[in-house]
Amino acid sequence: MASINRRRALAGSAALAVCAPVLAACGSDGSTAVDSGPSDGSGASDSGETLASAADVPVGGCFVVQDAKVVVTQPTEGDFKAFTAVCTHQGCLVETSTEGDIPCPCHSSKFSLEDGSPVSGPATSALAPVEITVDGDSILRA
């Protein structure tokens, strides 16, 4: 009997050890926020870093570069812009889309492909711009 109780106690401790970091990363509403990187919100800042291929970015949509936490948009063909992919509401990463805006999956904010400004949802601040250059088919951090 004592060994069962001890086993249960150990199992409970293990569950707490596994869950605690997960809980720490969750918002009060259950959403998962991400580290926004440097204080400018632009993610890593390696100048010249290749972010994406132009072909990755849909016309009238956006492509999220997960590792760099940057979203590259193409509002009109051949016109590329980039912003931090960290939502200004509660810090989720926005999503790749072909729907004419930059959507956040956590609470449905949507941002402009042109300037990163919020167009709907709870977010009230724009996504910070990220300077890019286009070199042939490559989109690079400026």
Q: How many CA atoms lie within 13 A of 8 on its CB side?
A: 4
For ligand FES, the closer of residues 68 and 87 by Cβ is 87
| Region for 100 from its dihedrals, namely left if φ exceeds 0, alpha if ψ lies in -120 to 50, beta otherwise | left
Distance in angstroms between the alpha carbons of the first and the last residue of the chain: 66
Residues in the chain: 142
Report the residue number, 100 or 121, with the smaller CB distance to ligand FES.
121
Alpha-carbon gap, residue 8 to 134, rounded angstroms: 59
Q: What is the 3-state secondary structure (H, E, C) of 1-24?
A: CHHHHHHHHHHHHHHHHHHHHHHH
Q: How far is the CB of 110 from ligand FES (least distance, A)?
A: 9
Q: How far is the CB of 90 from ligand FES (least distance, A)?
A: 4
Cβ distance to ligand FES smaller for residue 60 or 107 = 107
Number of residues that bind ligand FES (CB under 6 A): 12
- Asked if residue 121 binds ligand FES (CB under 6 A), the reply is yes
Give the strand pairing for 102-103 and 79-84: unpaired
| CB closer to ligand FES out of 70 and 104 | 104
Shortest spacing between CB 20 and ligand FES, in angstroms = 22
Smallest distance from the beta carbon of 104 to ligand FES, in angstroms? 3
Contacts to ligand FES from residues 79-108, by CB under 6 A: 87, 89-92, 104, 106-107
The residues that touch ligand FES, with contacts defined as CB under 6 A, are 87, 89-92, 104, 106-107, 109, 121-123
